[in-house]
Amino acid sequence: MTTSSAAPVVSTPSNGASSRPTSILHRTPWIPPVAVSAKGSYIELESGQKLFDAVGGAAVACVGMQHPSVNKALKEQVDRVPYVYNMQLSNQPAEELAKFLTESSNGAFELVGYAAGGSEAMEGVIKLARQYFHETGQPQRTNFIARQLSFHGNTVATLSLAYHPLRRAPYASILDETHFHHVSPAYAKRFKKPDESEEQYVERLRAELEAKFIELGTETVIGFVAETVVGATTGVVPAPKGYFRAMKSVCDKYGALFILDEVMSGMGRMGTMHAWESFGDGVAPDIQGVAKGLGGGYASIGAVLMSKRIASGLRGASGLWKHGHTYQGNPLSCAAALAVQKVIVSENLLENCRIQGAYLEKLLKERLQSPNSPAAPFTFDIRGGGGFWGIEFDFDGPEAAGLDFRGGQFAMLLQAHALENGLVIMGMTGGASLQGNKGDVILLAPAYNVTAQEVEKIVQMFGDSVEAVLEAHRV
């Protein structure tokens, strides 16, 4: 790929809104267009343009917008009890949702703590894990081990826990490097050595984790934390078979906790209620964070799921969760989440998610990787499961000499082009190297009730966008 010194192409979707006035300090280098209505997976903009959301916002909208059952539950809860403070009162939907989350876990989880989103949930996970050892006679356990190229949230502690060099760069000097440590990602397509079998790769990663335990002092480690399927850094990367069993064996050997972050990949996203059931060797964690698919975008909610080990430990000590926030267990959020979960069960959406996910994979591969596809030389990997798919592009091959992105990044150019043309997707860069400076991935995460026709529409619009962006940058 040639690089040019011409002015960089800003990956800015126009949608007729880029220059409107705003008093919001937005997170994007462009001013995002305003949504005025949404139904199912369709979103209408102020301009009248209709978009199809193929990524559920940020892998959140799992039953689509305006589902009648969820709307009804929310409206009824507003009229009943919109708010109570959890240090004074509990509420019916919070109690019922916790019962649902524990009873549906086949014994994996015994107690639930609430949060207002994914970062809050993972912050709660960190504090719960520390509280557990503080109260059960092992106060010397102060170290967490997580992975490079991971994401666990945007608070200072969760940024410390996770590792993505570019995302943490502005805050690096205030992040905690004393208690948070990192080992290699489990990303075979990029980091497995060519002469290594999958088993040997898993063993290398297991040995690295054990060496890190030993380096820190095995009795000082609180736990190992990982996303079951990595989402917002490397872009939908499941671990090799046997990886989670191997990592848990190290935690078990030294009495530490095995902790999963299923904020993005959990609550049905992988086609099973918990991602570890299908993509984590069936190994249940001691503690798990969930969020996005829990409330499906109807309310801001996350949760911390606690195993019997944690529950028994705390019951035998303080008997309470010392961590809290004002909106924990908010009645509106819990009513929305409970309704979303009931929809997933009553409409058999996990099965639909698996069926349509497999169809999406098939169509994506046909469109992007068939020998005569213009995208084939650059489509490095199509991976995922259930309703969570990553399409990774690569421009290291000889064909890339004929392209010039003029300072832009392909994934972001593609995201912008797709949005302009009515398809919402999520572009991500920097997940293909430990330095965070290489890699173009697109995330797709349609609603679990996506139809076959909608899958075809996604692939048609996505394929067209890929080809158009490549064509526009040929030299």
Ligand X SMILES: Cc1ncc(COP(=O)(O)O)c(C=O)c1O
List residues near ligand X by CB under 6 A.
58, 117-119, 122, 151-154, 227, 231-232, 261, 263-264, 291
Comparing CB distances to ligand X, the nearer of 33 and 56 is 56
The residue whose Cβ lies closest to ligand X is 118
| Residue 37 beta carbon to ligand X: minimum distance, rounded to whole angstroms | 24
DSSP string, 127-177: HHHHHHHHHTT-TT--EEEEETTB---SSHHHHHHSB-HHHHGGGGGGS--
| Residue 466 beta carbon to ligand X: minimum distance, rounded to whole angstroms | 24
| Residue 135 beta carbon to ligand X: minimum distance, rounded to whole angstroms | 25
| Residue 242 beta carbon to ligand X: minimum distance, rounded to whole angstroms | 22
| Residue 116 beta carbon to ligand X: minimum distance, rounded to whole angstroms | 8
Comparing CB distances to ligand X, the nearer of 232 and 432 is 232
Comparing CB distances to ligand X, the nearer of 264 and 469 is 264
Which candidate, 92, 71, 70, places its Cα nearest to that of 81?
92
Q: Are 379 and 385 in contact (CB under 8 A)?
A: no
Comparing CB distances to ligand X, the nearer of 15 and 288 is 288
| Residue 171 beta carbon to ligand X: minimum distance, rounded to whole angstroms | 15
Which candidate, 140, 403, 179, 162, places its Cα nearest to that of 264?
162
DSSP string, 341-404: HHHHHHTTHHHHHHHHHHHHHHHHHHHHHSTT-TTGGGEEEEEEETTEEEEEE---SGGGGGB-
State how beta strands 426-429 and 440-444 pair.
antiparallel
| Residue 161 beta carbon to ligand X: minimum distance, rounded to whole angstroms | 9
| Residue 119 beta carbon to ligand X: minimum distance, rounded to whole angstroms | 3
Comparing CB distances to ligand X, the nearer of 91 and 158 is 158
Comparing CB distances to ligand X, the nearer of 56 and 377 is 56
Burial bucket for residue 154 (CB in 10 Å: 0-12, 13-18, 19+): middle
Report d(CA 357, CA 386) in Å as an integer: 5
Report d(CA 294, CA 288) in Å as an integer: 13
Report d(CA 126, CA 413) in Å as an integer: 36
The enclosing H or E element of 428 equals strand 426-429
Report d(CA 447, CA 63) in Å as an integer: 5
Comparing CB distances to ligand X, the nearer of 120 and 440 is 120
Comparing CB distances to ligand X, the nearer of 275 and 403 is 275
Which candidate, 144, 272, 151, 274, places its Cα nearest to that of 213?
144
Comparing CB distances to ligand X, the nearer of 232 and 391 is 232
| Residue 231 beta carbon to ligand X: minimum distance, rounded to whole angstroms | 4
Comparing CB distances to ligand X, the nearer of 54 and 122 is 122
| Residue 300 beta carbon to ligand X: minimum distance, rounded to whole angstroms | 8
DSSP string, 182-225: EE----HHHHS-TT--HHHHHHHHHHHHHHHHHHH-GGGEEEEE
Q: At what angle do helices 198-216 and 243-253 cross, to 10 degrees?
A: 30
| Residue 293 beta carbon to ligand X: minimum distance, rounded to whole angstroms | 11
Comparing CB distances to ligand X, the nearer of 119 and 379 is 119
Backbone angles phi, psi at 58, to 5 degrees: -125, 55
**Number of Cα atoms under 13 Å in the Cβ half of residue 312:** 4
| Residue 252 beta carbon to ligand X: minimum distance, rounded to whole angstroms | 23
Long-range contacts of 188-197 (CB under 8 A, 24+ apart): 188/240, 189/237, 189/380, 189/381, 189/383, 189/392, 190/234, 190/432, 190/433, 192/240
Q: Are 50 and 57 in contact (CB under 8 A)?
A: no
Which candidate, 330, 327, 323, places its Cα nearest to that of 157?
323
353 contact partners, CB below 8 Å, separation of at least 6: 268, 269, 271, 386, 387, 448, 450
Comparing CB distances to ligand X, the nearer of 93 and 235 is 235
Q: Give the type of residue at 361.
A: E
